[in-house]
Amino acid sequence: MFESWSVTKSKGACARCGHEFPPNSVFFSCLQNQQGDFVRCDFCRDCWDEKEADSFFCFWRSRRAAPDQKQTANTDLMLDFFERLDRPDSERKRAFRFVLALYLTRRKEMKLLGVERGDGVESLLFERRSSGDKMLVENPDLTEEQIEETAAHLGRLLNADL
Report the interface residues with Zn ion, using CB under 5 A. 14, 16-17, 44, 47
Shortest spacing between CB 45 and Zn ion, in angstroms: 8
51 vs 70 by CB, closer to Zn ion: 51
Is the Cβ–Cβ distance between 125 and 112 less than 8 Å?
Answer: yes
11 vs 106 by CB, closer to Zn ion: 11
Is the Cβ–Cβ distance between 134 and 125 less than 8 Å?
Answer: yes
DSSP H/E element including 92: helix 91-106
3 vs 68 by CB, closer to Zn ion: 3
What is the spatial distance between Cα 112 and Cα 102, in angstroms, rounded to a whole number?
Answer: 9
17 vs 113 by CB, closer to Zn ion: 17
What is the spatial distance between Cα 136 and Cα 117, in angstroms, rounded to a whole number?
Answer: 11
Q: What angle do CA 45, 54, 149 make, to 5 degrees?
A: 80
49 vs 86 by CB, closer to Zn ion: 49
Is the Cβ–Cβ distance between 91 and 139 less than 8 Å?
Answer: no
Shortest spacing between CB 4 and Zn ion, in angstroms: 10
Shortest spacing between CB 25 and Zn ion, in angstroms: 11
Rounded (10°) angle between helices 144-158 and 91-106: 90
Shortest spacing between CB 10 and Zn ion, in angstroms: 12
Shortest spacing between CB 42 and Zn ion, in angstroms: 9
